[in-house]
Amino acid sequence: MKKLLASTALIAAIALPAFAQETLDPNAVSGGNITVTYKDDVATLDPAIGYDWQNWSMIKSLFDGLMDYEPGTTTLRPGLAESYEISEDGLTFTFHLRPGVKFHNGRDMVAEDVKYSLDRVTNPATQSPGAGFFGAIAGYDAITSGEADTLTGVTVVDPATVEIKLSRPDATFLHVMALNFASVVPSEAVDAANGDFGKMPVGTGAFKLGDWTIGQKLVFEKNADYWRAGLPYLDTVTFEVGQEPIVALLRLQNGEVDVPGDGIPPAKFQEVMGDPAQAARVIEGGQLQTGYITLNVTTPPLDDVNVRKAINMAINKERITQLINNRAVPATQPLPPSMPGYTEGYAGYAYDVEAAKALLAEAGLADGFDTELFVMNTDPNPRIAQAIQQDLAAIGVNASIQSLAQANVIEAGGAGTAPMIWSGGMAWIADFPDPSNFFGPILGCAGAEEGGWNWSKFCNAEIDAEATAADSMIDPADPARMQMWSDVYMKVMEEAPWVPVFNEQRYTMKSERMGGADALYVDPVSIPVNYDYVYVTE
Amino acid sequence: MAAYLIRRLIQSALILLGVSFITFFLLYVLPADPVRQIAGRSATPETVANIRAQLGLDQPFIVQYGRYLAGLFHGDMGRSYLQKTDVATLIMSRLPASLLLMVAGIGAELVVGLTMGVVAALFRGRVLDNTLMMTSFVTVSAPQFVVALLLLYVFAVQLGWFPIGGYGTPAHLVLPAMTLGILGSGWYARMMRSSMVEVLRADFVRTARAKGLTRSRVILRHALPNAILPIIAMIGIDIGIFMGGIVVVEGVFGWPGIGQLAWQAIQRVDIPIIMGVTLVSAFAIVLGNLLADLVAPLIDPRIRIR
């Protein structure tokens, strides 16, 4: 079969030599320890289960998948796969594994482990929140329904080769294989952990788990046999949990902490940024996040597109951004600016109270109406909800605020009982840097079912079809595909099921002794930092 | 005595059963679906249904509760929905820290509170009394978060006498225990003051004074032991207040107790952990009250157990 080289990125991938020769940072120093703090305890380090910003980067350092990203970027690169080929129809992926990769338990990683890991993550018994990402692999439906316990689409060709057949083309498949959920795990370690692999993780990553004192701290130790030569630089990373962000900041100022994992507490933000010495150690970057208000298109009068447009025009995004100390940029569309497929030059709905009133009058609601705005009850979300409430009052819309715990807001959103929801605290952050990730579950028909994350209950068959067509293209980075996605989101904006409010910026603070490129501290896939590549200078 | 003990133990068991039922019921009717939290954002309805069935959450309330109780009687508190770890293991790994902080906190409360109460009673109606009672009023109403941060900032960050949060050495214990001590001392100070005032007026104190005992001997040997009796019952009740209040203090000082565990479990609707922590806390409260009732007659012969 003729192999298709879909893009330069793919050619580069195949051309890589057998042993990954990293371009190492010439200033890097090996050795030392850094201390990272978090408020929340680490729930799990099982790559099939872990799905929060805290454990995501930790799991990335303990495990590897077939694919990976260039540190500090959203560029795909091969991981445990040394190279791969994609068939012309885009349905068969053949991965050639890197030789000589060892698990932390000393055993060689082989193709059988890749198959086992994919079977495990998709098996409903594992209860993985990421199982849905693998829906394109042939045999997925049989394994989720319990008819099979192995994916028919994944074949071990020989110990160093895995072939994965898809049931439908999926442009994002290489990104999916770079997700933590696709990490390769050794079956014997999973079995030995007896249901608690999340506390006894064994992978192939740059670090292995040392001590873990539940509720207090975890220590990651350097994997001396790591297959990327020269990495990691640090000997150990210590994670201390149960620390209030404000206490973590005090300890950082005292030289006891290197990275406060929860960031700079909002109450201290201006103080830190106003002090040149401290501000110099804060690295700012974009993140693949959008904060939005959902407008339930099945609830009158929000079922009228003019009413939804009026609400879009009524919201003063600049003021809301100021409310959070300008730690965000106002948004015009669902995609964040750093996401491929973002529509440059689109201004969105400008803030215009008079035009909003006129649209409402046109919809026969000159006197406004009563509605409800659901919001998660942690700061700053109730404050933002009040600002939205005031903006709506200016056009005669009387919104009462329902401030609830996160789980209750999610429940109301899924059930479709919330007319409006401010997404803060639950906002969509991309799983991988591809525009499709902002559509299916939150704006597509699939997510509009009861219990889904499409809280607007927005379902437009025509837009859905275009999204499916875009994802059926083989090369994820194809400009034609990006154009299609841009088009999808522009059509969504015409229907106005959301008010995109802002895109949050990331601010990572580090201690003076920490080194490495700034991009590592705002790495789009490893938050707060890419532990494999940072180092200490003393 | 034996009959009383048996009766109280049965009562305690019934209270715990009631607590378990009410908590389980409240979690059942709560409009938040743990399965959604487990299944993730892109799960299909089939996956959600499958996980619901695996956890037995598709069963009627009474079946779910029955299964939970059956597990409990076999010493099985279930597994955390999101951590997948055995709940008993999670609680046991954190319980020692909470108990240590509780004992130290109550100790600090008693030392600070009783001293304030006794001194206030001795200087009743004077400036010192008014000042102490005003102070106790302030500490009772002060927000825990603010007091904890204030102590942390002054004594750990500025003066550097103690570590900035954490766990492990006696030095780590001082500030969280003092926070709890200061905050809880007001109740004890007020109670001790009124009890002491009452005792100082009693006939036996006048008799003691009349037979020529020194003032300090009268206070320490005769008045204090009698005045302290109502305090013992209060400690039993205080354990309950502690179980609730310890969450914030554990949070600020990074103290790895069960308060932190409970807080995170509530955020994530992790029902087995919420149930486990609630039952363990309820057990501590019931046990505290029982012990207080059993100890009281040993100290005060006037109290008889029937």
Q: What is the nearest CA distance from B268 to chain A, expressed in angstroms?
A: 7
What DSSP designation does A107 have?
P
How far is it, in rounded angstroms, from Cα A299 to Cα A421? 13
Nearest to A286 by CA among A80, A449, A494, A430: A430
Cα–Cα distance between B159 and A15 in angstroms, integer?
60
Residue A217: pLDDT above 60?
yes
pLDDT of res. A16? 41
Percent of chain B surpassing pLDDT 90: 18
Asked whether A409 and A316 are in contact (CB, 8 A), the reply is: no
Query: Which domains can be identified in chain B, with CATH numbers?
Result: 20-73 (no CATH), 93-299 (1.10.3720.10)
In angstroms, rounded to a whole number, what is the distance separating the alpha carbons of residues A66 and A184?
8
**A301 Cβ under 8 Å from any chain B Cβ:** no
Question: Token match 């378990």: residue?
Answer: B20
- Number of Cβ within 10 Å of residue A224's Cβ equals 7
Residue at token pair 């609680």: B91
Q: What angle do CA A29, A33, A38 make, to 5 degrees?
A: 130
Identity at B229, one-letter amino acid code: L
Q: Are A252 and A258 in contact (CB under 8 A)?
A: yes
What's the Cα-to-Cα distance from A271 to each of A264, A274, A283, B159, rounded to whole Å? 10, 5, 16, 21
The closest CB to that of B164, out of A125, A215, A254, belongs to: A254
Indicate whether A322 pLDDT > 70. yes
DSSP state of A452: S
Q: How far, in Å, CA of A215 to CA of A125, rounded?
A: 27
Contact check, Cβ <8 Å, B79/A195: yes
Mean pLDDT in residue range A116-135: 91
Q: Assess contact for A45 and A59: CB atoms under 8 A.
A: yes
How far away is chain A from the Cα of B151, in angstroms, using its nearest Cα?
Answer: 12
Mean pLDDT, all residues of chain B: 86
CA atoms B80, B84, B87, B92: torsion sign: negative
First to last CA, chain A: 55
Chain A and chain B share a number of CB contacts under 8 A equal to 148
Q: 3-state DSSP call for residue B55?
A: coil
B54–A125 CB contact, under 8 Å: yes
pLDDT over 70 at A330, yes or no: yes
* pLDDT value at residue A149: 92
- A76-85, A379-388, B188-197: lowest mean pLDDT where? B188-197
Please compute the mean of the pLDDT values over residues A27-48 and round it to a whole number: 92
Cβ A124 vs Cβ A57: under 8 Å: no
Measured between CB atoms, which of A242, A251, A410 is closest to B260?
A242
> What does the pLDDT look like over B91-134, one tens digit per residue?
998 888 888 998 899 899 889 998 998 889 888 888 998 998 88
Determine the 3-state secondary structure of A69 from DSSP: strand
Average pLDDT for A178-194: 96
Whether residue A18 is predicted with pLDDT greater than 50 in this model: the reply is: no
Q: Output the pLDDT for position A19.
A: 43
Q: Which residue of A has its CA nearest to B152?
A: A247
CA A439 to chain centre: 13
CB count within 10 Å of CB B137 equals: 13
Name residue, tokens 């933590």: A180
Which structural domains are found in chain A, ordered by start?
A: 1-285+506-538 (3.40.190.10), 289-504 (3.10.105.10)
- The residues, ordered by sequence, that sit 6+ positions from A330 with a Cβ below 8 Å of its Cβ are A317, A318, A320, A321, A501, A502
pLDDT band with cut points at 50, 70 and 90 for residue A432: confident
**Rounded distance between C-alpha atoms, residue A390 and residue A395, angstroms:** 9
For chain B, give the longest Cα–Cα distance.
86
Q: What is the phi/psi pair of residue A139, to 5°?
A: 90, 0
Residues of B in contact with A244 (CB under 8 A): 165, 251-252, 254
Report the half-sphere exposure of A12 (CA within 13 A, side-chain side).
Answer: 9
From B41, B54, B83, residue closest to A453, measured CB to CB: B41
Banded model confidence at residue A183, pLDDT cuts 50, 70, 90: very high
Assign 3-class secondary structure to A124-139.
HHHCCCCHHHHCCECC
Report the range out of A92-106, A450-464, B185-199 with the highest average pLDDT: A92-106
Q: Is the pLDDT assigned to residue A2 strictly greater than 80?
A: no
What is the SS3 string spanning A183-241?
Answer: CCCCHHHHHHHCCCCCCCCCCCCCEEEEEEECCCEEEEEECCCCCCCCCCCCCEEEEEC
Cβ contacts (< 8 Å) between B43 and chain A: which residues?
A: 129, 131-132
CB contact burial A231-267 (16+ within 10 A = b; e otherwise)? bbbbbbbbbbbbbbbbbbbbbbbeebbbbbbbbbbbe
Pairing of the two strands A67-69 and A33-37:
unpaired
A366-416 pLDDT tens trace: 999 999 999 998 888 999 999 999 999 999 999 999 998 888 888 899 889
Residues B233-290 pLDDT 10s: 778 777 777 776 788 888 888 888 888 888 888 878 889 999 999 998 888 888 888 8
Q: Using CA atoms, how far apart are residues A108 and A86, in angstroms rounded to an integer?
A: 26
Nearest CA in chain B to A46: B83
Amino acid identity at B7: R
B83 CB neighbours in chain A (<8 A) are 43-44, 198-199
Query: In the beta sheet, which residues pair with residue A284?
Result: A507
Task: Encode pLDDT of B25-36 as tens digits.
Answer: 998 888 778 888
Q: In what order do the strands lie in the sheet with A161-165?
A: A3-4, A81-87, A92-97, A161-165, A154-158
Nearest residue on chain B to A252, judged by CA atoms?
A: B164
> What is the average pLDDT across A452-466?
93
Q: Which amino acid is at A128?
A: S
Q: A144 vs B44: CB contact, 8 Å cut-off?
A: yes
Q: Is the pLDDT of residue A136 over 60?
A: yes
Give the distance from residue A44's alpha carbon to the nearest chain B alpha carbon, in angstroms: 5
What pLDDT was estimated at residue B306? 57
Residues A186, A202 contacting (CB under 8 angstroms): yes
Average pLDDT over residues A56-65: 95
Nearest C-alpha of chain A: how many angstroms from B36?
8
pLDDT at residue A22, as a whole number: 58
State the complex-level ipTM.
0.80
Tokens encoding A84: 């791969």
Residues 427-446 of A with CB under 8 A from B: 440-442, 446
> pTM of the prediction?
0.86
Cα-trace Rg, chain A:
24
Inter-chain residue contact B254 with A240, CB threshold 8 Å: yes
Q: Cβ separation of A406 and B31 shorter than 8 Å?
A: no
DSSP code at position A170: -
Q: Decide: B216 and A204 in contact? Cβ < 8 Å.
A: no
Predicted confidence at residue A377, as pLDDT, reads: 87
With beta carbons under 8 A apart, name residues in chain A contacting B44. Answer: 132, 135, 144, 446
Looking up tokens 């339930």 gives A296
Judge: A49–B84 Cβ closer than 8 Å, yes or no: yes
Distance CA B98, CA B167 (A): 11
Tell me the percentage of chain A whose pLDDT exceeds 70. Answer: 96
Q: How confident is the model at residue A11 (pLDDT cuts 50, 70, 90)?
A: very low
Q: Are strands A398-404 and A328-330 parallel, antiparallel or unpaired?
A: unpaired
Question: Cα(B103)–Cα(B288) distance, rounded to whole angstroms?
Answer: 12
The alpha-carbon gap from B86 to the nearest alpha carbon of chain A, in Å, equals: 8
Label the pairing between strands A398-404 and A370-376.
parallel
Nearest CB to A440; choose among B42, B79, B253: B42
CA torsion, ordered B265, B269, B270, B274, to nearest 10 deg: 60
Question: Are B32 and B271 in contact, with CB atoms under 8 Å apart?
Answer: no
Instruction: Collect contacts of A218-222 with beta carbons under 8 A, ≥24 apart.
Output: A218/A42, A218/A58, A220/A58, A220/A61, A220/A62, A220/A531
pLDDT in tens, A474-527: 888 889 999 999 999 999 999 999 999 999 988 999 999 999 999 999 888 888
Question: Is A39 near chain B, with CB under 8 Å?
Answer: yes
Classify A317 as helix, strand or coil: helix
Least Cα distance to B262 among B95, B40, B28, B144 occurs for B95
pLDDT at A4 over 70: no
Check whether A249 has a pLDDT greater than 60: yes
Chain B partners of A246 at a C-beta cutoff of 8 Å? 149
Q: Which of A216, A249, A377, A402 to mutate to test the interface with B (most CBs of B within 10 A)?
A: A216
Q: How far is CA A413 from the centre of its chain?
A: 20
Task: From chain A, pick out residues whose CB is under 8 angstroms from the CB of B30.
Answer: 408
Nearest CA-CA distance, residue A356 and chain B, Å: 33
Chain A, 407 to 426: residues with Cβ < 8 Å from chain B are 407-408, 410-412, 414
Least Cα separation, residue B142 to chain A (angstroms): 19
> From the CA of B47, how many Å to the nearest CA of chain A?
7
